Amino acid sequence: MDAKERFREIAPNYDKEIVKIIPYYKQMIEALINIFTFNNYEYINILDLGCGTGSLTQKIKEKFPNSRITCMDSSKEMINLAKKKLWDYDNIKFIIADFSDFNFNNDCYDVVLSSLAIHNLIGDEDKKNLYRRIYKALKKNGFFYIADFVSASSRHNQRLYDDVINNFVKKNSMKEKTLKYRIHREDNVHPKLVDQIKWFEKVGFREVDIVFKYYTHAVFGGRK
């Protein structure tokens, strides 16, 4: 099953299940949003890559009601759920597209963000290529922060990370159905966090930082 099919299948129960497989999911999203130092009523331009059911965009709208947000996702099913969830908010544009080859406008966004989506680009070069294109798409001083899966710097630590997460998933739900939602590392080895930080710096991002980390997942990014 490829990623697109998997997301089509999991879309209807996504919001209920994600908190059972990602410890501190809500805190992770909070950490991602807290980083943006805008006045709450500013008219900022935001791009949410792999918006899924729109939870992140909803939280941004609650904090920055005047923001204009572009929600991008390659899954029609996810975009439809996001449209439903975000029905009451204005200035949200929905685009069904693949961010791996989307032609972003240059110098356009105050913020580009993404949660649990970019790891779906399997190769390191694809991720680096996306980071370069996002850098161009940002306005000067714009923020690029992501919440995503990362690997440890040693095998020993990776075993520890995997044990912690597997125990969390087992404790929360032994149901086969929930286990299917897991992002299996066997078919997608996530880059080490320390390497991704170097990639960000090489692309040109400054003030690169890690603002949240819990074993397998982290929130990190920088500014143009």
Ligand X SMILES: C[S@@+](CC[C@H](N)C(=O)[O-])C[C@H]1O[C@@H](n2cnc3c(N)ncnc32)[C@H](O)[C@@H]1O
Cβ(36)–Cβ(187) below 8 Å? no
* Consecutive H or E run containing 126: helix 124-137
* β-pair partners for 212: 219
Out of 23, 36, 55, 149, point to the residue binding ligand X (CB under 6 A): 55
Query: Which phi and psi (to 5°) does residue 96 adopt?
Result: -90, 105
User: Measured between alpha carbons, how far is 29 from 147 in angstroms, rounded to an integer?
Assistant: 7
Out of 115, 151, 196, 216, point to the residue binding ligand X (CB under 6 A): 115
Which of 209, 186, 183 lies closest to 197, judged by CA? 209
CB of 91 to ligand X, least distance (A): 19
Q: Which residue is nearest to ligand X (CB)?
A: 52
Which of 65, 46, 48, 58 lies closest to 86, judged by CA? 58
Nearer to ligand X, 96 or 194 (CB): 96
> Does residue 58 interact with ligand X by CB under 6 A?
no
Out of 50, 191, 221, 222, point to the residue binding ligand X (CB under 6 A): 50
> Does residue 7 interact with ligand X by CB under 6 A?
yes
Out of 78, 137, 197, 218, point to the residue binding ligand X (CB under 6 A): 78
Only one of the segments 32-40, 51-59, 135-143, 156-164 lies at the binding site for ligand X (rule: CB under 6 A); that segment is: 51-59
